[in-house]
Amino acid sequence: MAGYVLGLDIGTSVTKAALFDRDGREIGASGRRTEVRSPHPGWYEMDADTLFAAAASACRDLLAATGVDGEQVEGLAISGIMIGGWLIDEAGHALRPGILWNDGRAQRLLDRHLARDPALMSKLFDSSGQVMQLGCTLPVLAWLAENEPHLVARAHKILAAKDVLRMRLTGHVGTDESDAAIGPGSARTRGFNPALLDRFGLAALAALLPDVLPSEAFAGLLTEAAAAATGLRAGTPVAIGAGDLPACVLGAGAVDAGIACSVVGTTCLNGVVSEAPVFTPRDMGILFTVPGNLWIKTMVNVAGTTNLDWALTALCPDLAGRPDAYQALAELAASSTPGAGGAGYVPYLSHIGIIAPRLEPGARAGFFGLNPDHGRPDLVRSVYEGLAYAIRDCFERIDRPISAIRLVGGASRSPFWAQMIADITGTPVEVPEGSEFGAKGAALLAATVIGWFPDIRTASRATYRTRRRHEPDVTTAAAYEQGFQRFRLASDALLDRVAPSYRVKV
């Protein structure tokens, strides 16, 4: 009987389950939507029972769609949205809905701390290697302690989303290095840094931080109740798991120093893998720990394919209703020439601005360099090019040698766009085989726990296959270099019109 491993991937709005065979090939995937509640503007929460129900249903749907018996699944692990805060009591019951990574309720609290200590963010960066977001566990816990002290007094631990789900599956309470190192964490020690709690007057709450284990460690066995809910076998081994981005890096096979990974979906995240933590440039970007004793320094353009969604509806409403709308959009862009005839676009299309190349909530998107000769193909192409220029900008700010870019997310489905990214960055772009890379990374952690592979790096390398490789086209280099320089001037001018700030408005 063939054996499989299962990866669960908790997204902000969809929780997915995917099956993989011993060669790491994706057998099938299924997803269930999870409701995100917003009881006040800028607040985002998820109910633990809703999350468990979505994960269990996704597992059952997956087994039904693939025809795989739950007895054939030999291990599982979870990846998912990182940080935030889920308070649980000693019995493992959630005391309130979990506060998510994109929640902004701690803004006023953070403003007070910054007024007392303007260098606070830099001090936190020195430990975690990342510009702290409002949804990090540290400010979330500070808000809870100030506004819901009665719940904090009853709490046993504060967990991330994947840890809550794993607890429901196995009874294990803990977290992994990737979540712990972000906040209040230490990238160097790959765990929590309890000393940072004192910066927010929370030293007395250090016991709420859960134990930290490597992502590929054994967490426990699937309980009878969880097996009944998921359709899997009771006693199935479960690994600790990892945050969504580190798991995606594993799934994309990016486990050697110098490999870059661009995850271009709703957001646009670009990172370079290293063998040691990278704290430059200072006060910029996010440093993630990756299973296998690796790190990935990342820069994030908050708006990714959102820009294409906007271009489709605002510039091409005649294409928006077609089943091949995005292919038609790419074909329209391709009818223009590299450099878009001098038209340009800065892709900061977000209500909360940007967090790279610097943290600026006032940054917004816009066209530049237009003249009466420009038509719709030039404008649409400039949107694609603007996103590719932003990717190059992120990598140049990281300033690390790159051997290749592994491209995943929506952009990977477009050969036109993938080739453009290769041309603009001057770096080969590799599109991995598969679609659910976060779930695959989790599944590989499970495969390592059950002994299919000796370690997670071996697992990631052994199961990586390239679907397409795009080499840079030297004939477009001059046009794109001019376009990038225009982009840099326009981007810098836009950012200089707003005052630098750590505020993240929601």
Establish if 197 belongs to a structural domain. yes
Is the same domain home to 146 and 90? yes
* Residue that is last in its domain, among 242, 262, 286: 242
User: Across the chain, what does the average pLDDT equal?
Assistant: 94
**Which residues form the domain of 205?**
4-242
Among candidate residues 364, 369, 371, 373, the one with its CA nearest the CA of residue 346: 364
Report whether pLDDT(500) > 70: no
In a domain, 501, yes or no: no
Count of structural domains within the chain: 3
504 in any annotated domain: no
Give the residue from 190, 221, 242 where a domain finishes.
242
* 294 and 320 belong to one structural domain: no
pLDDT value of position 362: 78
Q: Which of 289, 385, 371, 282 is nearest to 330 (CA)?
A: 385
In a domain, 388, yes or no: yes
pLDDT digits (tens, 9 = 90+) for 23-71: 999 999 999 999 999 999 989 999 999 999 999 999 999 999 999 999 9
Q: Is residue 347 part of a domain?
A: yes
Sign for the CA dihedral angle at 221, 90, 182, 293 comes to negative
CATH number at residue 218: 3.30.420.40
Q: How far apart are CA 322 and CA 311, in angstroms?
A: 14
Classify residue 47 by burial, with Cβ atoms within 10 Å: 0-12, 13-18, 19+.
middle
Q: Residues 128, 178: contact at Cβ < 8 Å? A: no
Is the domain of 83 the same as that of 167?
Answer: yes
Q: Are residues 127 and 215 in the same domain?
A: yes
Which residue intervals of 67-175 are DSSP H helices? Answer: 107-116, 120-128, 137-147, 149-154, 161-170
Do 385 and 361 lie in one domain? The reply is yes
Q: Judge if 70 and 205 occupy the same domain.
A: yes
* Per-residue model confidence (pLDDT) at position 485: 97
pLDDT band at 498 (very low <50, low <70, confident <90, very high): low
| Biggest alpha carbon–alpha carbon distance for the chain | 68
Q: Give CA–CA dist 155/285, Å, rounded.
A: 32
Q: Which two tokens stand for residue 316?
A: 């091409």
Cα distance between residue 341 and residue 343, in whole Å:
6
Residues 6+ apart with CB under 8 A from 212: 174, 175, 176, 177, 180, 190, 191, 192
Q: Residues 89, 162: one domain? A: yes
Residue 505 located in a structural domain: no
Region 132-142 average pLDDT: 93
Structure confidence at residue 502 (pLDDT): 40
The arrangement of strands across the sheet holding 404-409 comes to: 286-290, 294-301, 268-274, 259-264, 404-409, 429-432, 466-470
- The pTM of the whole model exceeds 0.85: yes
**Structure confidence by residue, pLDDT tens digits, 340-373:** 999 999 999 887 777 777 777 778 899 999 999 9
Q: Is residue 105 located within the same domain as residue 208?
A: yes
Considering the domain boundaries, does residue 503 fall inside one? no
CA angle 88, 94, 98 (to 5 degrees): 95
- 62, part of any domain: yes
The answer on 324 and 197 residing in a single domain is no
